[in-house]
Structure 1
């Protein structure tokens, strides 16, 4: 039996969802399924002989360009020519007389699973569902995945700290217990102001951690996980060029010194806390009387960025190697999934490094 968390908001397990889908509920009009598979067929696998009528509305994918694309009813069950790479969610009418609206999101209950990237679509669906009727949020056991989503919803709508939102949910359903990885991400969600800020240093470091763990497990990383190549033509003009487009702001960027190709934007930079500078290499320091001694200077000689799709060697799966300009092949820096030490002494892992003497600061 689903547990009532707030008005028009329920939490439950797969059995609760199957019951609602089989016997149309007068209370629940929408279902949010958080399961390893976004397919409706899991109900048949869970309970032999169970058949539930469904009609697909659309599927939303994240494609190679990093943008969401949709496949509306194709009729023949085939995929579109867009070759989507990652299913973000699927929508369908389901249950008796197809009266229920169900959104299914593919997410595993593991500490390494990326919860943050699914929060916006899930929380928006819950909002819409509560306005139109009532919604059941469920996973397999109703303990971890569905709880993490409902906690995030309470955090955003009621501006509750993560711990308070968890405690509040436990008053309605005492056995909920999101895994530690989800709790860490919900803490980041709180620190980002109850939103998923893709330009936040917290988010960027989290994404690098997820990619690094994926690589260390020996899994091939899909190119859709890397940020788009910023070296594409742009319509935005800046100082010294033609008329700027109204309402557009100039974007700080890094260009290859040799051919001027854009290789990174400021939004791709991953900040780090400066270490102990050259004192990390104290064994070859010169004496304090030498005017050339730079040991007290902490300015980093490199900038560290997120992996981008022009990095051919990275996409090919190498552990480490040079980062060369995609246009003129000039050496720009280095990458290493095991990490690189910055000149300031800090270790960045994994690291995608541009040497400042190989790039120029510019704008788009």
Structure 2
């Protein structure tokens, strides 16, 4: 482990020198890549320093205890040694997890698409609840959210809502939210108090940069149309909404959230690029899945991953069998523990693989 940490420290020092060079700063793509690598390696470099300091202190404490000439120093050394012995296995585990090869997609921003599934109006209301849950969670994380497109339900919520999330390691955090979310509750419109089951599908697409996916604009059909829904005087009078169709694949992306046609066009292109990128990523994940069966899969939009049971105040993630009983808090964005557990299970699986 120390040998690997020494190599990482050398690379960290190398990048520390590189990212302040004028030619690197002027090369945006190279600078972004190196800056990301710098942040990843910084955590490991700091853990290495802590590890070396800790083991050094343990050696020093053992020498003082072995010498035994100063009773007071011996007592202090024993206390320090006990604390260090308690910390050392924790630190080693932290380093092992940091040494797990990271998915290069994890650092990317994302496009989140929530679509109402079975359940009619209640499914649309639930899709709206999920949108609120995620936006509150993102706000708590200090991430920025921006609505790209929405199609409101007839009784509230959304038939479909697409929003962008930007911040640190967004895809790596949210990717396990992809799949079918099921809700069991008595709808507001239900007069006899019967529990209904509805569903919504969540897709989490890593946002593709221009250098990730090259789109030939000759392959894209662009249509302009009037926005629908709330939006003031310009709605239904100005063709500011944009729909893009990638002819070779049939993929469609649209945006009508901005008043500017130009801004809508940029956002629609961003969504289209992310969807094309996700297609390629899905193929890669399929190949990876054939090599190993991960308990916490990501990207399978047909898999039922979680149930929200309102009568029992319970939310259950079926992949890891974890149930939480603070449903109100969960729906208000307090989903940190669930996401942490999903990441922990996934990292533990990766750690086991790396040991064989």
TM-score by length of 2: 0.19
The structure that is helix-richer by fraction is: 2
TM-score by length of 1: 0.19
